Amino acid sequence: MSNIPNRQLPIFLSFIIIASFNLFGGLNAVAQSAANYPSKPIKLIAPVAAGGGLDNLARKVADRLSKNLGQTIIVDNMGGGGGAIASQVTAKSAPDGYTLMVSYVGTHGTNPAVRKLSYDAIKDFTPVGMIGATPNVLIINPALPIKNLIEFIDYAKKNPAKLTYGTSGPGTLTHLGMEQFKMTSGIFMVHVPYRGIAPAFTDLLGGQTDAMLPTLFAAIPYLKTGRVHALAVTGQKRSAAEPNIPTFKELGYAGFDGQQWYGISGPANMPDAIVVKLNAELNKVLASPEFSQEMSSEAMTLMPMTPQQFGNYIKEDIARWTKVAKSRQIEIE
């Protein structure tokens, strides 16, 4: 302060006092807000139209989380742009814990790897916690003279460009996952993109395409009736829903860990106390035997994580699919 003229010293000190008061007052207000959280209804954005698996999951989690928190949680369906619209709205919302979204492999995994987005899947969000994931399964039309993954690869190599595979669209997990398999196994198949998984299944069942890599949950009804044949599932271990299907890893193909995962995120810079509270209550939901049983019947493995673990998972998933996209020169406008 030796360089400050004496006549200006009182003004300078007043400024410091006011600034300190505002700083500590602001911090106190944030702490008070976190302590009282939640004091009003919470909005949970589902980045899809009403109906379907993700919407169903969002409502089940919201119902149980609402009871734990003692506050209403309203599911707000916001489809469009492959989840980009919902993600952008969430990213621009106030980081007060009252606007959250169900982030999933599309919004925070594959889309950032293949598209130029209006949001940054890492910098613009606060990871709250993982819910769980269902593996993807390589299935084929049973009319093919193939019984296992080794035979499939051998058949593909002997019949280059003869095999086709359907997907739910360019740049989706069903597309990137199969491209990863083609790259790793050294085979070639023709990609046939569809607008959604339903028409892709229709053509596979009808014999217009030969293979697919959908979620295990979506494939189970057709596996039960023998209308498709499963060769391998993604993930570190076999799924309890279909324990007879081997993993890619145990068949000699490591790195096939991509899954259809779901979690909860909020805007960037949410208060730590609110994030910790939400994470704890979410993990209580996942620990419920009733909820666990309900999800296992849908081929989902629950994966409770800390916010930091979930954030690292997102980063690793984006890196995984970015590597595949660059190697296969996949970029969606």
pLDDT at 160: 85
Judge whether residue 173 has pLDDT over 80. Answer: yes
Which band of pLDDT confidence, cut at 50, 70 and 90, is reported for residue 3? low
pLDDT at 14: 55
Where are the strands (E) in 19-146, listed by range? 42-46, 73-77, 99-104, 125-135, 137-140
How much is the pTM? Answer: 0.88
The length of the chain is 333
Separation CA 115–CA 129 (nearest Å): 24
32 pLDDT tier (thresholds 50, 70, 90): low
Whether the Cβ atoms of residue 124 and residue 268 lie closer than 8 Å to each other: yes
- pLDDT grade, residue 10 (50/70/90)? low
What is the separation of C-alpha 213 from the centre of its chain, rounded to a whole number of angstroms? 17
**pLDDT at residue 157 greater than cutoff 90:** yes
* pLDDT for position 333: 80
Asked if 320 and 258 count as a contact pair (C-beta separation under 8 A), the reply is yes
Q: What is the mean pLDDT of residues 36-65?
A: 96
pLDDT value, residue 26? 47
Domains annotated for the chain, with CATH where assigned, are: 37-134+260-327 (3.40.190.150), 137-251 (3.40.190.10)
One-letter identity of residue 284: K
Which residue has better confidence, 242 or 2? 242
Average pLDDT, the chain: 92
Binned at pLDDT 50, 70 and 90, residue 215 comes out as very high
Q: Can you give the pLDDT at residue 5?
A: 55
Neighbours of 176 (CB within 10 A): 27
Please return the burial class of 240, using the count of CB atoms within 10 Å of its CB with bins 0-12, 13-18 and 19+: exposed
Would you give the DSSP letter of residue 300? P
State which amino acid sits at residue 32: Q
- Mean pLDDT for 40-59 is 95
Cβ partners under 8 Å of residue 293, min gap 6: none
Q: Is the pLDDT confidence value at 234 over 90? A: yes
Decide if pLDDT at 27 tops 50.
no
Q: Which residues are registered as beta bridge partners of 134?
A: 260
At 176, is the secondary structure helix, strand, or coil? helix
Would the pLDDT of 161 be above 90? Answer: no
pLDDT above 90 covers a percentage of the chain that reads 87
3-state secondary structure labels for all residues of 220-278: HHHHHCCCCEEEEECCCCCCCCCCCCCECHHHCCCCCCCEEEEEEEEECCCCHHHHHHH
Which residues, 6 or more positions from 277, have their beta carbon under 8 angstroms from its beta carbon? 34, 37
Render pLDDT for 68-113 as a digit per residue (tens, 0 to 9): 999 999 999 999 988 999 999 999 999 999 999 999 999 999 999 9
Average pLDDT over residues 121-148: 97
Q: For position 31, what pLDDT does the model report?
A: 54
Taking residues 168-176, what's their average pLDDT? Answer: 96
Please check the confidence at residue 291 and state whether its pLDDT lies above 50.
yes
